[in-house]
Amino acid sequence: MEKVLVTGGFGFIGSHIVEKLVHHNYEVAVYDNLSTGSINNVHSKGLAFFDSVEDEGALEKAMKTFKPDFVIHQAAQISVQNSVSNITNDARINIIGSTNIIKLSQKYGVKKIIFASSAAVYGNSKIMPIPVSHPTHPLSPYGVSKQTAEEYLKLAKELYDIDYVILRYSNVYGPRQTVSGEGGVISIFINHVMQEEQSVIYGDGLQTRDFIYVDDVASANLQALKYNGSGTFNISSSTCTSINEVFSKIQSIGKQNVSPIYQPAKDGDLKESLLCNKKSIQKLDWQPIYSLEKGLTNTYDYYLKQKDSILPSGKEPTSVLK
Ligand SMILES: NC(=O)c1ccc[n+]([C@@H]2O[C@H](COP(=O)([O-])OP(=O)(O)OC[C@H]3O[C@@H](n4cnc5c(N)ncnc54)[C@H](O)[C@@H]3O)[C@@H](O)[C@H]2O)c1
């Protein structure tokens, strides 16, 4: 049985990856400091280590105990806004955390590291959809820390022959996403619609995003384990949907029609974000299988069941791009 250590495995995306790995008979351990994740997200009996990726000593203990064949590295500081207000914290978690993973992967014979990167590495682009070969030009410390971790992974392949697969996610949505993380615009809208409250849309709502359902992202991580060699891939639906459109789809699922409030666009909010997933479909033997309607319905049903545990409404949506 192959062993996989999932950092951030108690978080939104990580928990779906853990479930899928267990389902496919991998032996899984989770490494997560629970800063935003929750143990309730995962019902697996595997090992769990409740420490930070910044803590090299604690990470070494986990590596030594579990001896993983693969590491799927999801743990991160995920907020663009927090990366701007606390650049050092972002760098500590996202850069030092990643170099710790690389260093100890080399020491303990890990075959491959799968890394959760982001569309944020591209910054603004005139070319849409953005191919994975497009130059990177991050516009936030978060984008820089993701790009830096990518560079270290490529170097580790050169220096130590550790394979890597970098997965640049677009806007991920689905069950277990909290409204506090960015990219949580769908969970925020669902929360408002369920409570029959007004949602806030920044700008004219015509700005578009490339939404990808979390189960499709988890499948991409599994395919990355099987991929022969190293590479970088966009994980996206390659479909652009406007914020107005996503809001009205959620309203029709929730059978509610309270009009949203429009407020001025936020600084730096991109007009369009769309990633090309062609290479992933060709080389990873992966493709997104959830339509937006199906994914939104699943997500809505999940929040309906969790009604009491979601965050209070009235929270403003933050920027939807990570
Ligand atoms: N959600 C998106 O739309 C999106 C888009 C692009 C990239 N990503 C990336 O995907 C990954 C997962 O994001 P998510 O949306 O599931 O967020 P999340 O906050 O739900 O998950 C992050 C997990 O990592 C854990 N964690 C945070 N800091 C840690 C630390 N220092 N040490 C150990 N564990 C730590 C948290 O407790 C949480 O369980 C992140 O790397 C994020 O940057 C997410």
The CATH class given to the 3-170+214-235 domain equals alpha beta
pLDDT at residue 313 is higher than 90: no
Instruction: Tell me the CA distances in angstroms from 129 to 72, 100, 272, one per residue in order.
Output: 26, 33, 9
Write the pLDDT tens digit of every residue in 98-117.
999 999 999 999 999 999 99
d(CA 212, CA 267): 24
Atom 34 of ligand 1 has which residue's CA nearest to it?
Answer: 32
Q: Is 285 exposed, middle or buried (CB count within 10 Å of its CB: 0-12, 13-18, 19+)?
A: exposed
Instruction: Read off the pLDDT of residues 157-197 as tens digits, 9 standing for 90 and up.
Output: 999 999 999 999 999 999 999 876 555 899 999 999 999 99
Are 41 and 19 in contact, with CB atoms under 8 Å apart?
no
Which pLDDT score is estimated for 321? 32
Q: Report which ligand 1 atom has the smallest distance to the Cα of 93.
A: 31
Pocket lining for ligand 1, CB < 6 angstroms: 7-8, 10-14, 32-37, 52-54, 74-76, 78, 93, 97, 116, 118, 169, 171-172, 181, 183, 322
Confidence of residue 92 (pLDDT cuts 50, 70, 90): very high
The domain spans of the chain are 3-170+214-235, 172-211+238-274+289-309
CATH superfamily entry for domain 172-211+238-274+289-309: UDP-galactose 4-epimerase, domain 1 (3.90.25.10)
The pLDDT-based confidence of 308 (bands split at 50, 70, 90) is low
CA dihedral in degrees (100, 106, 110, 111; nearest 10)?
A: 120
Instruction: Name which residue sits closest to atom 13 of ligand 1, judged by CA.
Output: 13
Please tell me the predicted confidence (pLDDT) of residue 312. 43
Residue 287: partners with Cβ closer than 8 Å, 6 or more residues away: 277, 280, 281
Q: Which is the closest atom of ligand 1 to the Cα of 73?
A: 41
Band (306; pLDDT cuts 50, 70, 90) = confident
Residues in the chain, total: 322
Asked, colleague to colleague, whether 3-170+214-235 and 172-211+238-274+289-309 share their fold, the answer is: no
Measured from the Cα of 181, ligand 1's closest atom is 19
